[in-house]
Amino acid sequence: MESPIEPVREPGPVTAEAPSNIAFIKYWGARDLEEPVPFNRSLSMTLDACRSVCSASPLGEGEEDEIWWLDKPAGGRPGRPAAPPPAFVERTKRHLDRLRDWSRRTAAPYSGGFRIATYNTFPTAAGIASSASGFTALTLAATACMGFDLAPRTLSALSRSSGSGSAARSAWGGYVEWPDGDANAAVQILDERAWELCDLIAVVETGAKKVSSRDGHRRAESSPYFAPRLAALDGRLERVRAALHARDFKGLGDAVEEEGIDLHLIAMSSRPPVYYWTPGTIEVLAAVRCLRSDGVAAYATMDAGANVHVICQPADAEKVADRLEAQGSVKYVVRDRTGGPPVWRGGAEL
Ligand code: PMV
């Protein structure tokens, strides 16, 4: 029998930071949404600037969890604590229960409460995978607060058990693949030093999207194009993987943009349909095509939201950002790039 996981320290307050990620091959549709078990393999680039910061402090035996959300950050600093919406509190507490259950199978079961305070450095629920960074930061903070220092595979499997599949991929830096089927942890295929790319996020909407990605996953199978999508995906993922290994930016960009459009083709043809795009999305997509006809290599992809992630190489980043900022519907551009793994340190900073 495997020996139980040992803690590395006494329970105590910690602060964790976890990156978001942008999917080059998307997780969309699940055989089981609770686990979740995806229909297809997905592959993402871990981001650097878009991250969730989460402090966890231990409370007494049986004490109720306290959940705080910090206001939108101003100038990179978190704002004042606010009571989060009830759905957020409920989902967070359910995940903390799961983590306490997990600790019962370790050498140091934990049954106390947690005081959690968290914020994102970017707009929430707007197609920038806030559930990926949020649940990874929460999982890392709560387990470190219980005294553990998780290996990335364990962090990936536990973060994903929140129900957010993209959270499986935020446990690693660089380029990360999450297998389909029951395999429950994501694996790193290249680390963050292997190839630095930029993700310039053209923010055209700052509000939360109207249809959650959970509902989008649920409807995916109702699209008549879902089966052809699955049939094409292995080949597309192979192209992305090969381009990453060969540092072939055009090969990567072609496959990534094709995939970004395909996700929305499925969403718009689902029953009932889901329209994440707004006129701003279309304007940015046209600007990216214009950049390419001007000889600048830039490619677009969108998650479940209106905002457009424009992938380019560092040497072109300023030119691309200037063009995006010149579009009337772009409120601002988040300049991000390939990032490293999540981290934690002792002390509750929030
Ligand atoms: O992790 P979830 O359940 O929020 O789903 C993520 C869905 C996409 O962001 C659209 C794609 C992906 O793989 O990140």
- Give the tens place of pLDDT for each residue, 277-296: 999 999 999 999 999 999 99
Facing residues of 118 across strands? 54, 69
Residue 49 to residues 118, 172, 173, 299: CA-CA distances in angstroms? 16, 15, 13, 20
Does any ligand 1 atom lie closer than 6 A to the CB of residue 304? Answer: yes
Q: Average pLDDT for residues 258-270, to the nearest whole number?
A: 98
Q: Percent of the chain beyond pLDDT 70? A: 96
Counting ligand 1 atoms within 8 A of each CB, the residue from 32, 303, 308, 309 with the most, and so the one to mutate, is: 303
Residue whose entry in the numeric block shows the structure tokens 């290994």: 245
Counting ligand 1 atoms within 8 A of each CB, the residue from 21, 27, 47 with the most, and so the one to mutate, is: 27
Does any ligand 1 atom lie closer than 6 A to the CB of residue 40? Answer: no
* 313 or 78, greater pLDDT: 313
CA 165 – ligand 1 centroid, Å: 6
Does any ligand 1 atom lie closer than 6 A to the CB of residue 42? Answer: yes
Q: Average pLDDT for residues 138-148, to the nearest whole number?
A: 98
C-alpha 295/C-alpha 16 separation (Å) is 41
Does any ligand 1 atom lie closer than 6 A to the CB of residue 303? Answer: yes
Q: Average pLDDT for residues 145-161, to the nearest whole number?
A: 96
Does any ligand 1 atom lie closer than 6 A to the CB of residue 165? Answer: yes
CA 262 – ligand 1 centroid, Å: 14
Does any ligand 1 atom lie closer than 6 A to the CB of residue 164? Answer: yes
Residue among 65, 53, 72 at smallest CA distance from 90: 65
* 294 or 70, greater pLDDT: 294
Summarised one tens digit per residue, pLDDT across range 176-230 is: 999 987 768 999 999 999 999 999 999 999 887 889 999 999 999 999 999 999 9
DSSP strands (E only) in 26-163: 30-32, 37-38, 42-61, 66-70, 81-82, 112-120
Query: pTM for this structure?
Result: 0.95
- Indicate if the pLDDT at residue 124 is higher than 80: no
